[in-house]
Amino acid sequence: MRRSSVLSKITLMYVEVNAMIVREEYKTRADGVKLFRTYSDEGRRIIQNETGIVYGEAIDVENAPYTYTESDEDVELTAEEALNIILGGEGV
């Protein structure tokens, strides 16, 4: 009996969860720079600690010096933002 194994594809996903803040690998740009998405798993806005700017989600380059804290404010999407999410960024 001959044993063989087939490995079609391995996808590695970097995910870091810290106090309801999720940081995950988002995509790689054409120039090879990795982008990471940071958001609240509770649907709240996040605050960039270094600047105090509030975001619904943040996309940063790998090794960016930013850290985030979850706020008490819920994320509210506009109809256009919701459509972009549903259509994978191909909306209006």
Q: Which two tokens stand for residue 51?
A: 């600047």
What are the residue boundaries of the structural domains of the chain, listed by start?
Answer: 15-86
pLDDT, one tens digit per residue, over 7-18 is: 444 445 555 555
pTM above 0.85, yes or no: no
3-55 pLDDT tens trace: 444 444 444 555 555 558 999 999 999 999 999 999 998 889 999 999 999 99
Alpha-carbon distance of 39 to 69, in angstroms, equals 10
Q: Which amino acid is located at 6 in the chain?
A: V
Under the banding of pLDDT at 50, 70 and 90, the label for residue 79 is confident
Q: Which run of H or of E encompasses 84?
A: helix 79-86
Task: Confirm if 69 and 21 have CB atoms less than 8 A apart.
Answer: yes
CB-side neighbour CA atoms (13 Å) of 78: 5
